[in-house]
Structure 1
Amino acid sequence: MAQAYTSSTNTYSMAFVTVPSKEVGEKIGSGLVEEQLAACVNVIPGLTSIYKWQGKIEKDSELLLMIKTKTELVDQISEYIRKHHPYDVAEVISSKIDNGNPPYLDWIEKNVK
């Protein structure tokens, strides 16, 4: 019988970062996994971002990084992004994982520091 989904008690989080290209996304994602700050980084193409920057409305094609990690590492991920991201103001937002597949949450636990 399959194990029921469980509350993660805020132990795990997803962080989201927009990037300008697949190359930048893969470089940042690989670095996060190599540094054991993330268990997995999805590089999701096909975003159109509309935002105000320096008084003008901008519209850009971007990709989204979906980063799975421990909540306690989100600040370190944010620091890593600021050091390696080409934008002046990089988006780093996170959300705690309220429920998850126990084997997947265990896998995150085993693959981050």
Structure 2
Amino acid sequence: MSTGTDVLLVLTNLPDADSADQVTKAVLESRAAACVNRLPACASTYWWSGEIEHATEIPLLIKTTRAAYPALEAALRKAHPYEVPEIIATPVATGLPAYLAWVADETRQPSV
């Protein structure tokens, strides 16, 4: 087992497949993420503007690193259609060393 303290799993939800595709493309093209998994649509219920809202959303699971997180958050905020997007990052405690290294390699910004 390897410690994965530099790798993060980031969750966000999108209102539809088109916006999920756009956000996925934006974060991958910016090299702020190594991988994005789009899950099937889910039912979300939440408070918004003093009311309980119901929506169908597309969850995205995004793999990145602590170093790449600021760029990822910026790309998400720019591409995301929600006024206040859900962007939650959780550290990966352990994982396959080769996979964790791959995430780090794929999110490393090229030297100038």
Structure 2 length normalisation: TM-score? 0.90
Which residue matches 2:68?
Answer: 73
What is the rounded CA distance, in whole Å, between the counterparts of 2:48 and 2:29 in structure 1? 33
Which residue matches 2:87?
Answer: 92
Partner residue of 1:6 out of 2, 19, 23 = 2
The residue type equivalent to 2:84 in the other structure is V
Q: Is the 8 A contact 1:22 1:43 kept in 2?
A: no
Which residue matches 1:51?
Answer: 46
Q: Is the 8 A contact 1:19 1:25 kept in 2?
A: yes
- For structure 2, the 5+ residue unaligned runs are none
Secondary structure at the residue paired with 1:72?
coil
User: Which whole-Å deviations, capped at 9, do the CAs of 1:1-39 have from their partners, x for residues lacking one?
Assistant: xxxx2112x211011011011111111111111111000
Equivalenced residues, count: 108
Partner residue of 2:37 out of 26, 33, 42 = 42
The residue type equivalent to 2:85 in the other structure is A
The alpha carbon displacement at 1:76 in A equals 2.0
Partner residue of 1:112 out of 90, 93, 107 = 107
Which residue matches 1:102?
Answer: 97
Q: Is the 8 A contact 2:30 2:75 kept in 1?
A: no
Identity across matched positions, percent:
30
- Structure 1 runs, 4 residues or longer, greater than 4 Å off: none
The alpha carbon displacement at 1:73 in A equals 1.8
User: Which whole-Å deviations, capped at 9, do the CAs of 1:43-72 have from their partners, x for residues lacking one?
Assistant: 112211100111110010001110001112
Which residue matches 1:15?
Answer: 10
The alpha carbon displacement at 1:75 in A equals 2.3
The residue type equivalent to 2:91 in the other structure is K
What is the rounded CA distance, in whole Å, between the counterparts of 2:77 and 2:29 in structure 1? 17
